[in-house]
Structure 1
Amino acid sequence: MARLELTAGVLLSRSGSYDAVSNAMYAGTVLAIDEINQDPGAGVFIKPVAVDPGGQLAGYVDGARTLLQDHRLEHVVGCYTSSSRKEVLPLFEKADALLWYPSHYEGFETSENIVYSGAAPNQHIVPLTGYLLSHFGLRGWLAGSNYVWAWENNRILREALCASGGSILGERYFAMGDTDLEDLVHQIVADRPDYVFTTLIGRSGITFLKMLRAACDAAGIDQAREMPTASCSLSETELPLIGASAAGHLSSSVYFSTIDTPENDRFRRRWAARFGHLGHASADAETAYVAVHLLARAAARAGSVRFEAVRDAARGLQYDAPQGKITVDPENLHCWMCPRIGRSRADGTFDIVMDSPVAIRPDPYLTWVSDMGGARGPDLRVIR
């Protein structure tokens, strides 16, 4: 039986202020495409057309136009930031094309032109909020990059804290890539919150974690124990770049390289052999890898590479991913996934301190709760 030929766009930055993360996503995409193309039983052969937006919104728009209009592609794996996704979405709607979006995000969106292979807010920020409230206290500090990812995640945490009788001691936003953070760090150390929730991304986030640890050390504060940082984006990709300050940070994710499954063992071995120079496998790499496999399986299931046929075939599709079995929700095209919380280690990996024993249905609009302070969220188990 002849294999379907599917030409797919890859719209991921390999340069710019968050190049470490987006390069890991690109590597995960390449790994999956090679794996599929080397498997004669896959039913699909993927020919990639890659564009580097350089971490710039204009670059994403120009890249999407190149892929959708010049190459007339119907499927693109791409975008890391929510601002880039929102910027290109109208182009996908106009072209009747499907964006396979491989990143956790803040939610409050669904589209018939996007399959979301990263975590929805009830799969990362809600579990993290509950963990912080129950383990560390009611006094938080919020610092983020100035765009919708940070605004919405901070809003969710702020509402949960306030509804529980807590308070936000401070909240600041910075341009993406900004590393002039001395005043921010000095204010946080002076305020002594119970924890710091950071939605700073890329170089801003890496610089912040280094500076905060150094300032706490100078003030005699055990930052990891007394004023932990928590994030929904910190991953194995960035830990080597933080250096001596890498250990002791909390991260909420659906994937950590330390997950013990046969599928993850296989994924880690292939990752180490090909992209070990990028560090350990991360959630960003894994969800990009997952997006490509979902695309290939949906096309094979449809027996077609056309937009509507593949989208319909993706509904309810299941896949044994490195993170565990995931299912594409037939209603909102997000994935059922298992939330997890990890604590970073000096070796560039995470100890998993909490996880869900079952996959949680994606709820991008958080419709299951009207009061975040009363949210029960998914049942999680603490790992001792």
Structure 2
Amino acid sequence: PASSALERAPELIDGKTGPYNVVARSMLNGALLALEEVNGDPDFPVELVPVVVDPGGELAGYHACATDLLARQNIRHVVGCYTSSSRKEVIPLFEKHDALLWYPSHYEGFESGDNVVYTGAAPNQHIVPLLDHLLKHCGRNAWCIGSNYIWAWENNRILRQAVVGQGGSIAAERYFAVGETDFRRAIEQILEARPSFVFNTLIGQSAYQFLRDFRAMAAERGIDQAREIPVASCSLSEPELEAIGGDAVDGHLSSSVYFSSISSAANRAFVSAYRRRFPDGPAMSADAEASYVAMGLLARALAHAGTDDIGQVKYAVTRLRLQAPQGEVWMDEDTLHAYLTPRIGRSNRNAQFDIIMEAAQPVRPDPYLVWNSSRYDETARPGRNLKAVS
């Protein structure tokens, strides 16, 4: 029964492990909140029963958990995965078992699987607007640091093409194992190079430690890091700001489709409900909102289709529109990626983001950057529908 599964959910949340556990827990929170809202509506025709597994942030764990869900328990719809490596690890299993992965995370793009619904941002919805902002406001000399896997590789490839195409340069490109926390030598190199900005694709504990150490080592040299060498990313979120803490929390740029500081009735209701349900956190994040959206769309698509057959559910979800915390969301029929609203935020001392740019309306997903191939032509600027927020 759903009630007994939900009673176990807090224990499962507390048990989330791995190098990006803060984000993982916020994603689980978002999915469970949407599930409970669906089950709490007596008029809704579908009841969802949560089955929660913890891969521990290990690729072998993702394969084992997916095998258990799909082969042993015969589950056909799964909301999950944060990293691209974990998604790539399990997609063959979803194809084998004719199941559907609802992937609730921003990612690097260049993928469109028949067995995946993507509710997080595609590259034209986060990295392209961020690059446009950085090239316009910060400069054209970049220093890239990232975790050694596909998310960082692909984002840096896109960045390199954009910066070099604008006559800029990449001072360096360094990769570290997921979970690595020793960045002293890399930071010394950054401070010697004095780039226009640092593009950060580190994840989890690696990112938090880098930001702490970078701020401290810059201060030792009398450098105002946030102003003189800003750090920008497409993944930094509110619960991670809380994890960074101290004097290193402010001044970082993040490109996302959701920030908890969005001023709208729908978002205020979401934030209030989230805080009531999960008073111990972690805070809301873009990935928590994407998980909330994924679960909400899944429930409505099941109700609309009247079956869990993935073909009929995929057809149904492209006919839906969801009033999400970030604004209206709907799925692109051709790619099964979501129309989402790009935004850029700057972190503040309260572990929140001040929104400094936002799209005027949801943007069509372009996972392969087909429509953005000429994005640095003045007649086709990627930020043409972005506006400054005063």
Please report the TM-score for the alignment, with normalisation by the length of structure 1: 0.95
Further displaced range: 87-96 or 269-278: 269-278
Contact kept, 8 Å, 2:376 with 2:382, in 1: the verdict is no
1:377 is matched with which residue: 366, 370, 382?
382
Separation in 1 of the partners of 2:45 and 2:229? 51
Separation in 2 of the partners of 1:42 and 1:228? 47
The Cα of 1:316 is off from its aligned counterpart by 3.5
Q: How does 1:124-143 map to 2 (within 5 A)?
A: 124-143=126-145
Separation in 2 of the partners of 1:313 and 1:279? 32
Separation in 2 of the partners of 1:282 and 1:318? 21
Q: Does 1:302 align with 2:305?
A: yes
Q: Does 1:80 align with 2:79?
A: no
The Cα of 1:279 is off from its aligned counterpart by 4.2
Q: How does 1:66-215 map to 2 (within 5 A)?
A: 66-215=68-217
Contact kept, 8 Å, 1:343 with 1:353, in 2: the verdict is yes
Letter paired with 2:169 = S
Separation in 1 of the partners of 2:129 and 2:372? 13
Q: Does 1:285 align with 2:288?
A: yes
The Cα of 1:277 is off from its aligned counterpart by 2.1
1:332 is matched with which residue: 335, 343, 352?
335
Letter paired with 1:383 = V
Deviation track 1:74-117 (CA, whole Å, cap 9, x = no partner) reads 10000000000011000000111000000000000001100000
Q: How does 1:267-286 map to 2 (within 5 A)?
A: 267-286=270-289
2:250 is matched with which residue: 247, 252, 268?
247
Letter paired with 1:346 = R
| Gap regions ≥5 residues in structure 1 | 1-9
| Gap regions ≥5 residues in structure 2 | 1-8
The Cα of 1:29 is off from its aligned counterpart by 1.1
Letter paired with 2:387 = R
Which residue number in structure 1 is paired with residue 5 of structure 2? Answer: none
1:223 is matched with which residue: 222, 225, 229?
225
* Count of residue pairs brought into register by the alignment: 375
The Cα of 1:42 is off from its aligned counterpart by 2.3
Instruction: Detail structure 1 runs of 4+ shifted over 6 Å in the superposition.
Output: 10-13
Separation in 1 of the partners of 2:88 and 2:374? 27
Separation in 2 of the partners of 1:27 and 1:232? 21
Separation in 2 of the partners of 1:270 and 1:373? 41
Which residue number in structure 1 is paired with residue 6 of structure 2? Answer: none
Which residue number in structure 2 is paired with residue 64 of structure 1? Answer: 66
The Cα of 1:373 is off from its aligned counterpart by 3.9
The Cα of 1:241 is off from its aligned counterpart by 1.2
The Cα of 1:213 is off from its aligned counterpart by 0.4
Taking only aligned residues, the RMSD between alpha carbons, in angstroms, comes to 1.5
Letter paired with 2:200 = T
Letter paired with 1:248 = G
Deviation track 1:282-326 (CA, whole Å, cap 9, x = no partner) reads 111111111000100100111112222111111232100000001
Contact kept, 8 Å, 2:19 with 2:205, in 1: the verdict is yes
Contact kept, 8 Å, 2:22 with 2:282, in 1: the verdict is no
The Cα of 1:207 is off from its aligned counterpart by 0.5
Letter paired with 2:128 = V
The Cα of 1:170 is off from its aligned counterpart by 0.8
The Cα of 1:45 is off from its aligned counterpart by 0.5
